[in-house]
Amino acid sequence: MHEDVIGLLMQQTQMLQILVSGLFRDLFCRAAVSFTDFIRTTEPRHRRAVQCFWAALQDRGLLYKDFYEGWYCTPDECFLTQAQITERPDAQGRPCKVSLESGHQVHWTKEENYMFKLSEFQEPLRKWLQGNRHVISPEPFYQVVRRWLEEDLPDLSVSRERSRLQWGIPVPGDSTQTIYVWVDALVNYLTVAGYPDAHHAWWPTAHHVVGKDILKFHAIYWPALLMAVGLDPPEQICVHSHWTVHGQKMSKSLGNVVDPVACFKQYTVDGFRYFLLRQGVPERDCDYYKEKVIKLVNSELADALGGLLNRCTASSINPSGIYPHFSESCFRKGSDHVDVEASGRALAEDYELVASVDHLPLQVTDYFEHFQIYKALESIVACVRQTNGFFQRHAPWKLCRDNPAEKCWLDTVLHVTLECLRIYGILLQPVIPATADKLLSRLAVKPEERTFTDLTFLPRYHGKPSPFEGRRLGPDTGALFPRLETPGRRRMETKGLRP
């Protein structure tokens, strides 16, 4: 009877895991997040990889069996030190020990486990960090790991009794033990790289993106385990902080968990992606609330970027609907702009704009490569504002097309503005793919012209031919990004009231 109950529970657990896995796949699809591999720890290839990894540890004499006791958190499946727990009242008001990180209850547990000789890798880990200053990014998390390594590094319990952890991978040759879930999970990185047969083509050129709450597993345990089997640690571990809601940690009990699917419907997929990447600072927790999303997205996507595109492609300003020609005489290249400024055409601020946008692709690429996406977007937004200033400053709607001199300058202003928008659209593709595609399609930029490689801004300014001059713009499909309305405003307008 007992075995039947356990079997039923295992089946239910597996069904739940399949359901959750499907939810993540669906979420990625909705969020326009692509992946080359999606792995579950129940797959045969992973089971084989974990068993080979365990055998490698055992063959090197780095595992031993011993009794281990301490505070154990069943939901988190880990032992905790005294510094990682606190005392709080339970539902009945009785004092109980809980995890500081998760809030889950812990119990004093003593059991016989397999232990990994983590203590032997304290010095190798220190040397690894000292020789790779940027291996853990951002800098504050690098310092956290260094402080951890200044303390004694005890051996790590790497298995659990099979009687209370049925669903994991059994320890090879010992049916009473299950391999610790975090050893199992971390080997996932090797599994998708082809371990144990074909991983050499990919490893160790791996970059992990992890939350700060699992930093120790990735920056202490995982590098040590890799060293133990003769492999190098990953090339970089990029760490991010958490999102809070109105200053509070997300919690089911508080009912303040944010549903991403609901956010896609309210802000659009691109709008929500943009907000998270624009406001998400890896070094510190960032706060989410609806008004903040709406204000940011409206200001930067709908107004600054979308408004600029709408203004410079309007039929009243660009009746021919083409990418206008650039005039070198109106916008002269060089360091001495005295004569140009005297003619009332390009001004010092205009040359500053050109310099900023010219430098932008390299700047953005560098920020992307260093996991500072929010800084990349800050740089793009700053240039978008500069471009709006340029357009407003020269007021092309006031220029007369019947006057050859003014038409020449009008076309140049439009050309420069469209060139700026082309650069912004290409650089924003990883962040807001649908919106960037709409922008670039409006500018008639072909798919093969949208890569970061050889991205040249304003070639005519540099005396080179432009493939875009004279090209007919793409169809006008409406606003680049729809303005979002707050729920309160929408309700008031529905009732025929003005806010």
**One pLDDT digit (tens) per residue for the chain, 499 residues:** 444 544 444 444 455 555 788 888 899 999 999 999 999 888 999 999 999 999 999 999 999 999 877 888 877 767 787 878 888 888 788 888 888 877 788 888 888 899 999 999 999 999 999 988 899 999 999 999 999 999 999 999 999 888 777 778 999 999 899 999 899 999 999 999 999 999 998 898 999 999 999 999 999 999 999 999 999 999 999 999 999 999 898 887 788 899 999 999 999 999 999 999 999 999 999 999 999 999 999 999 999 999 999 999 999 999 999 999 999 889 988 644 444 444 448 899 999 999 999 999 999 999 999 999 999 999 999 999 999 999 999 999 999 888 998 999 999 999 999 999 999 999 999 999 999 999 999 999 999 999 998 799 999 999 999 999 999 999 999 999 999 987 655 444 444 443 3
The CATH number of the domain holding residue 397 is 1.10.730.10
CATH number at residue 178: 3.40.50.620
Q: Is residue 1 part of a domain?
A: no
Residue 346 lies in a domain: yes
Kindly state whether residues 390 and 434 are assigned to the same domain: yes
Please indicate, yes or no, whether residues 291 and 145 belong to a single structural domain of this protein: no
**Residues 280 and 213 occupy one common structural domain:** no
Residue 256 within any structural domain of the chain: no
Residues 411 and 318 in one domain: yes
Is 362 in the same domain as 451? Answer: yes
Same domain, residue pair 212 and 282 = no
- Both tokens assigned to 194: 């082809």
Closest by Cα among 396, 412, 409 to 343: 409
What's the pLDDT at 8?
43
Q: Which two structure tokens, joined as six digits, stand for 309?
A: 């595109």
Per the structure, the count of domains in the chain is 2
Q: Give the separation between CA 191 and CA 39, rounded to whole angstroms.
A: 9
* Residue 167, domain member (yes or no): yes
Shared-domain flag, residues 222 and 294: no
At residue 485, the pLDDT reads 86
Looking at the domain assignment, is residue 30 inside a domain? no
Q: Are residues 52 and 201 located together in one domain of the fold?
A: yes
* Residues 416 and 302 placed together within one structural domain of the fold: yes
Torsion of CA 355, 361, 366, 370, to 10 degrees: 130
Give a yes or no: residue 303 inside a domain: yes
Q: Quick one: 354 and 301 in the same domain?
A: yes
**Residue 489 has what pLDDT?**
52
pLDDT for residue 342: 44
The reply to whether 193 and 270 lie within a common domain is no
Rounded CA separation 55/394 (Å)? 72
Residue 481 lies in a domain: no
Q: Is residue 476 in a domain? A: no
In whole angstroms, what is the distance from residue 110 CA to residue 352 CA?
A: 68
292 and 328, same domain (yes or no): yes
The pLDDT value recorded for residue 487 is: 64
Q: Measure the CA angle with vertex 455, ends 450 and 461; round to 5°.
A: 120
Contact 98, 88 (CB under 8 A): yes
Q: Which residues constitute the domain of residue 42?
A: 38-240
